[in-house]
Amino acid sequence: MTIPTSSHPVSGNSKKPFWHILTSVRLAISLFILLAITSIIGTLIPQGESLHLYLEKYGPSMFQVIKVARLHDMYNSWWFIALLLLFAVNLVACTINRFPIISQLYKKDTSLQAVERLLKMPHSFVLSLPSAASFSKEDVNKILPAPVLSYDVENGRLFFKESGKWSYWGVYILHTSILIILAGALIGAIWGFKGQIMLAEGEKVSEAVERFTGKDFPLGFELYCEKFFVDFYDTGAPKEFRSDLVIFESGKEVLRKSIRVNEPLSYHGLTFYQSSYDAMPLITFTITSADGKKKVLSLPVSEKISWQEAGLSVGVMQFLPNIHGGQAAHVWIGDDGFPPEAIWFLKGAEKEFRRGNNIYKASITDVEQRYMTGLQVKKDPGVWVVWLGCAGMLLGFGVVFWVAHRRIWLWVGERNGRPTLILAGRTNKNNMQFERFFDEMEQKIRTMTGVKI
Amino acid sequence: MIFTSSYLLSLTTFIYLGAAVLYLIAWVFRVEKVGLLGTFATGIGFLAQTAGILLRWVESYQMGYGHAPLSNLYESLVFFSWMTILVYLFLEFRLKNRVIGVFSTPFASLAMAYASFSPNVHDEIQPLIPALKSNWLIAHVVTCFLGYSSFAIACGMGLMYLMKSKDYTTGLLSRLPSQKNLDELMHQTIFFGFLWLSVGIITGAVWANEAWGTYWSWDPKETWSLITWFVYAIALHARFVRGWMGKKIAYLSIIGFISVIFTYFGVNFLLSGLHSYGAPR
């Protein structure tokens, strides 16, 4: 089927060249090609890396091109978004422009046709009947079940039946659904939020870091990571990543859930996804003062803990998991009024240090792995709009693909002085299927009238 | 020995190859009976392959992994081949024409040969990585490959159409379906593939939203599937609205399938991204 294009002067649009371009399928096809080609660029140049990497990889002149055209973040660049917007505008314009055409096509009554026209239909056959009465009204109903339109036409009676006329609107369902998907994406881009959280076991957060701006985003509640698990197959491939999360609101536990890669947690419009993990050493440091007081401190790298009784703080500046066959930490000591100092400790080996008149003995007594879970945080109020669009798209496909406008005319009367039956039909799509349908009808009529070929 | 999945599946390669040869002989020498043998061979191959796929599924449970055989390049190639034969057999049944077999079974056989004999493709059963542990895996892969297979056959029809357009009235080409029928068939197959590609993209989006929190992230695989979608959208719109027929659509069908191949393999081999589990190791 070919739908008439906008070049038909339906409402005098041809006088407005700008509108004419906007409504043209030529523009739609050009946009398909442009979007396809530009999308290829984005798959060839890695996206979202830091700028200096592009300078290293592509050289200074190519780097200028990349920077100016924003090829490093192409799908978010103004010109790519503009292309998508133009695509949406083109779709809206085409929809508006073709509305009267489709509407006409839908309203147009084609039931009444001259006998000569019937014979020129894509599908037709003529049968000479033994007598005009040998094909009764009931016979007609067997071929074309009621309701059937009928007219007196040229010494005979014309019967007409059609189906699937509404399918002309199918393409509207399809195109509108694409606009709905784009609208959903826009809603997500404006009111949505994407962020990340790195959360160590046993810790709480109330903020996420926005992915692009790096700014803090308040969650409105507290998220606590009770435990993180990682499990491997015998082959070494990862089997499961799991975070046991608890949500606290004003200090009270309100929700508890274990999340995995395909099982996120949703709360108050925010969804938390398991996306990565990190393991960091937790160093246990034991200090004994000269008067026999003992303190056990556990801390990760680049954190500081105070031993208040002694008025002393300890921090781990650096950790080496394997030096001379053992683990070692560079430990900072200070906050007691004396100049801070840094000492290397090998795990298990006790060392002495002096702060003023106090002498301390200290050693690393334990090092364990402490996990941090990497969570993706998302808020996307547009996602349901996108799904609605997707559902509409599938419905539209169904209609466009399977529902055809089928028309059948049956004329019984006298032609050239002989009782004659003419069956004619046309369809706007799925022609081969219709041909079979038409042939079956022909066979049925031949059997009914007893007329063999 | 016979009842292991890898044996059955590598056997399928040769059965499909045999079927392709039989279809070719039937076409070239006009022997209807050989064509019937071709259909028979394709049917047997399809049964063996189905058994192989099911057996592989069972074997994965025996190994303690327990997942549908749709998780890596080898399994996807086997499935692509299986799906292509399924779509082809449906068409043969509907159209009562075996010539399309000459242009369809080779795709299935090639995919199997590549899966079974390329050193790049590893056929051992691997456990599922966490990202793939989802009910969407089957829906996503099945719909995408229904699309890919339809496009493979539409490409075969495009080739037939271009051969036919030499306009010989006698000889080999006269046994191809008429140009009018081929044109319509190609159009319908493209539309069918387009529908399933769309469903595949949608199920992928739903899944990605569940696993990573974004339904669309311009990952190379996603982007290339969209590019493919655009190519076939051009073919459909050019026909619906501008009335393009025949040759032009045949060329678009071939270009579209090249894009499918790149989406399928090129992205895995040449570009990196979220779909890297489909890559050869």
Q: Answer yes or no: do B19 and B66 share one domain.
A: yes
DSSP state of B45: H
Q: Closest residue of B to A36, CA-based? A: B227
Q: Determine the distance in angstroms separating the CA of A261 from the nearest CA of chain B, rounded to an integer.
A: 6
Give the domain-ending residue among B126, B154, B179: B126
Which stretches in chain A have pLDDT values below 70?
Answer: 1-15, 132, 451-453
Q: What is the pLDDT of residues A321-340, one digit of tens each?
A: 888 778 889 999 987 788 88
Taking contacts as CB-CB distances below 8 angstroms, the residues of chain A near B130 are 238-241, 260-262, 274
Contacts of A130 (CB under 8 A, 6+ apart): A419, A449, A450, A451
Taking contacts as CB-CB distances below 8 angstroms, the residues of chain A near B195 are 397, 401
CA distances for B34 relative to A32, B104, B174, angstroms = 45, 17, 18
Question: B210 at the A interface (CB within 8 A)?
Answer: yes
Nearest to A410 by CA among A160, A151, A97, A165: A160
Among the partner-chain residues B202, B212, B234, the one whose CB lies closest to the CB of A29 is B234
- Distance between CA atoms of residues B141 and B203, nearest Å: 9
- Distance between CA atoms of residues B186 and B104, nearest Å: 13
- Distance between CA atoms of residues B148 and B141, nearest Å: 10
Long-range contacts from A65-72, C-beta under 8 angstroms, 24+ separation: A71/A41, A71/A42, A71/A45, A72/A45, A72/A46, A72/A47, A72/A48
Q: Answer yes or no: do B3 and B60 share one domain.
A: yes
Among the partner-chain residues B127, B191, B271, the one whose CB lies closest to the CB of A43 is B271
Instruction: Give the pairing of strands A252-259 and A238-249.
Output: antiparallel
- Distance between CA atoms of residues B271 and B225, nearest Å: 14
Question: B281 at the A interface (CB within 8 A)?
Answer: no
With b for 16 or more beta-carbon neighbours within 10 A and e for fewer, the A126-138 pattern comes to ebebeebeebeee
Asked if the Cβ–Cβ distance from A1 to B240 is below 8 Å, we say: yes
As given in the structure block, the two tokens for residue A338 are 């004396």
- Distance between CA atoms of residues A434 and A79, nearest Å: 46
- Distance between CA atoms of residues A406 and A113, nearest Å: 15
Return the pLDDT at A12: 46
- Distance between CA atoms of residues B166 and A238, nearest Å: 56
- Distance between CA atoms of residues B246 and B243, nearest Å: 10
Compute mean pLDDT per 10 residues along chain B, 281 residues long, and list them.
78 93 88 89 94 91 86 90 93 85 91 88 83 89 94 92 68 70 88 95 93 88 93 90 84 95 84 57 41
What is the side-by-side order of every strand in the sheet holding A123-128? A123-128, A418-427, A406-415, A156-163, A149-152
Among the partner-chain residues A29, A261, A393, the one whose CB lies closest to the CB of B237 is A29
As given in the structure block, the two tokens for residue B154 are 């539409």
Asked if the Cβ–Cβ distance from A432 to B234 is below 8 Å, we say: no
- Distance between CA atoms of residues B114 and B5, nearest Å: 16
Among the partner-chain residues A171, A239, A241, the one whose CB lies closest to the CB of B127 is A239
The count of structural domains within chain B is 2
Residues 185-204 of B with CB under 8 A from A: 185, 188, 191-192, 194-195, 198-199, 202
What is the side-by-side order of every strand in the sheet holding A326-334? A304-307, A312-323, A326-334, A341-346
A interface test, pick of B71, B128, B197, B215 with most A CB neighbours within 10 Å: B215
SS3 call for B156? helix
**CA angle centred on A379, ends A67 and B203, rounded to 5°:** 85
Instruction: Report the 10 Å Cβ neighbour count for B119.
Output: 6
Q: Answer yes or no: do B134 and B81 share one domain.
A: no
Give the domain-ending residue among B92, B126, B160: B126
Nearest to A228 by CA among A216, A215, A240, A213: A240
Asked if the Cβ–Cβ distance from A261 to B184 is below 8 Å, we say: no
Residues 123-182 of B with CB under 8 A from A: 126-127, 129-131, 133-134, 136, 181
Among the partner-chain residues A75, A378, A430, the one whose CB lies closest to the CB of B218 is A75
Return the pLDDT at A7: 43
- For the full predicted model, state whether its pTM sits above 0.90: no
Return the pLDDT at B170: 56
Residue A316 in contact with residue A301, Cβ under 8 Å? yes
Residues 99-128 of B with CB under 8 A from A: 126-127
Residue A274 in contact with residue A259, Cβ under 8 Å? yes
Residue that the structure tokens 């493979």 belong to: B152
Q: Is the peptide bond before A419 cis (omega within 30 degrees of 0)?
A: no
Among the partner-chain residues A36, A376, A378, the one whose CB lies closest to the CB of B227 is A36
Return the HEC string of chain A. Answer: CCCCCCCCCCCCHHHCHHHHHHCCHHHHHHHHHHHHHHHHHHHHCCCCCCHHHHHHHHHHHHHHHHHHCCHHHHHHCHHHHHHHHHHHHHHHHHHHHHHHHHHHHHHCCCCCCCHHHHHCCCEEEEEECCCHHHCCHHHHHHHCCCCCEEEECCCEEEEEEEECHHHHHHHHHHHHHHHHHHHHHHHHHHHCEEEEEEEECCEEEEEEEECCCCCEEEEEEEEEEEEEEEEECCCCCEEEEEEEEEEEECCEEEEEEEEECCECEEECCEEEEEEEEEEEEEEEEEEEECCCCEEEEEEECCCEEEEHHHCEEEEEEEEEEEECCEEEEEEEEECCCCCCEEEEEECCCCEEEEECCEEEEEEEEEEEEEEEEEEEEEECCCHHHHHHHHHHHHHHHHHHHHCCCEEEEEEEEEECCEEEEEEEEEECCCHHHHHHHHHHHHHHHHHHHCCCC
Q: Answer yes or no: do B14 and B78 share one domain.
A: yes
Q: Answer yes or no: do B175 and B99 share one domain.
A: no
Beta bridge partners of B212: none
Among the partner-chain residues B134, B191, B226, the one whose CB lies closest to the CB of A401 is B191
Question: B68 at the A interface (CB within 8 A)?
Answer: no
Size of interface A-B (CB pairs under 8 A): 116
Q: Closest residue of A to B227, CA-based? A: A36
Map out the domains of chain A with their CATH numbers. 17-100 (no CATH), 109-164+404-449 (3.30.310), 193-280+373-379 (no CATH), 282-368 (no CATH)
Q: Answer yes or no: do B232 and B215 share one domain.
A: yes
ipTM: 0.85
Half-sphere exposure of B93 (CA within 13 A, CB side): 9
Asked if the Cβ–Cβ distance from A262 to B199 is below 8 Å, we say: no
Q: Determine the distance in angstroms separating the CA of B232 from the nearest CA of chain A, rounded to an integer.
A: 10
- Phi first, then psi: what are they for A367, rounded to 5°? -135, 120
Domain limits for position B43: 1-126
- Distance between CA atoms of residues B233 and B224, nearest Å: 14
- The residue type at B225: S
Asked if the Cβ–Cβ distance from A397 to B195 is below 8 Å, we say: yes
Taking contacts as CB-CB distances below 8 angstroms, the residues of chain B near A387 are 206
Among the partner-chain residues B199, B207, B223, the one whose CB lies closest to the CB of A394 is B199
Among the partner-chain residues A25, A42, A271, the one whose CB lies closest to the CB of B241 is A25
Helix axes B136-164, B73-95, angle to 10 degrees: 50
Asked if the Cβ–Cβ distance from A35 to B233 is below 8 Å, we say: no
SS3 call for B91? helix
Asked if the Cβ–Cβ distance from B212 to A43 is below 8 Å, we say: no
CA distances for A52 relative to A45, A55, A71, A74, A170, angstroms = 14, 5, 14, 17, 50
Beta bridge partners of A137: none
Beta bridge partners of A410: A159, A423
Q: Answer yes or no: do B40 and B105 share one domain.
A: yes
Q: Answer yes or no: do B98 and B46 share one domain.
A: yes
Nearest to A190 by CA among A385, A428, A443, A390: A385
Q: Answer yes or no: do B19 and B111 share one domain.
A: yes
Instruction: Report the 10 Å Cβ neighbour count for B86.
Output: 17
Give the domain-ending residue among B126, B159, B187: B126
A interface test, pick of B126, B216, B223, B255 with most A CB neighbours within 10 Å: B223
Asked if the Cβ–Cβ distance from A378 to B213 is below 8 Å, we say: yes
Taking contacts as CB-CB distances below 8 angstroms, the residues of chain B near A171 are 240
Q: Answer yes or no: do B117 and B186 share one domain.
A: no
Helix axes B136-164, B220-240, angle to 10 degrees: 50
Asked if the Cβ–Cβ distance from B198 to A386 is below 8 Å, we say: no
Q: The domain spanning residue B103 has which CATH number?
A: 1.20.120
- Distance between CA atoms of residues A277 and A293, nearest Å: 38
Q: Closest residue of B to A188, CA-based? A: B214
Asked if the Cβ–Cβ distance from B130 to A275 is below 8 Å, we say: no
Asked if the Cβ–Cβ distance from A35 to B237 is below 8 Å, we say: no
- Phi first, then psi: what are they for A72, rounded to 5°? -80, -15
Q: Answer yes or no: do B116 and B4 share one domain.
A: yes
Q: Answer yes or no: do B176 and B39 share one domain.
A: no
Extended beta strands in chain B, E state: none
Asked if the Cβ–Cβ distance from B220 to A43 is below 8 Å, we say: yes
Q: Determine the distance in angstroms separating the CA of B17 from the nearest CA of chain A, rounded to an integer.
A: 30
Nearest to B44 by CA among B85, B103, B3: B85
Distance of alpha carbon A255 from its chain centroid, rounded? 28
Return the pLDDT at B45: 94
- Distance between CA atoms of residues B14 and B7, nearest Å: 12
- Distance between CA atoms of residues A39 and A42, nearest Å: 5
Question: B61 at the A interface (CB within 8 A)?
Answer: no
B interface test, pick of A32, A77, A94, A193 with most B CB neighbours within 10 Å: A32
Asked if the Cβ–Cβ distance from B243 to A2 is below 8 Å, we say: yes
